[in-house]
């Protein structure tokens, strides 16, 4: 729809990129907060269960960094697929399909 009112391809690609980055950051923030809360609860439960003989549960920092990189790679691939698919669409046909 925005392309039909004069949005340039460069600004359209920039908009898609920014939306993808915001989507990735939002999902990463929620996911990291939930995972750190679960790890913290596991550490507290293990300390309650074993008392003084605590089991060391380290924070999996390398796995978290790997997952962050993997999420951004997936979002980048989805963004590229979406922009390539939208480049090939005819503006008039797209508007006609939306009105049906």
pLDDT at 25 over 80: yes
pLDDT at 88 over 60: yes
- The residues spanned by each domain of the chain are 3-94
CA 92/CA 96 separation, integer angstroms = 6
Identify the band that residue 93 occupies on the pLDDT scale cut at 50, 70 and 90. Answer: low
- Mean pLDDT along residues 54-73: 82
What pLDDT sits at residue 19? 86
What pLDDT sits at residue 12? 76
| Per-residue CA distances from 65 to 62, 70, 72, 86 (Å) | 5, 9, 11, 32
Answer for the pair 46, 54: CB distance below 8 angstroms, yes or no.
yes
**Using one digit for the tens of pLDDT, what is the confidence trace for 40-54?**
888 788 777 776 666
What pLDDT sits at residue 20? 85
Identify the band that residue 94 occupies on the pLDDT scale cut at 50, 70 and 90. Answer: low
């Amino acid at each position: 729809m925005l392309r039909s009112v004069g949005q340039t391809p460069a600004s359209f690609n920039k908009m898609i990129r920014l939306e993808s980055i915001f989507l990735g950051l939002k999902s990463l923030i929620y996911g990291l907060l939930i995972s750190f809360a679960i790890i913290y609860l596991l550490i507290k439960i293990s300390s309650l269960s074993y008392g003084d003989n605590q089991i060391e549960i380290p924070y999996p920092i390398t796995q978290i960094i790997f997952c962050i990189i993997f999420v951004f790679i997936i979002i980048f691939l989805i963004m590229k697929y979406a922009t390539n698919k939208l480049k090939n669409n005819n503006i008039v046909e797209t508007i006609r399909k939306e009105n049906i």
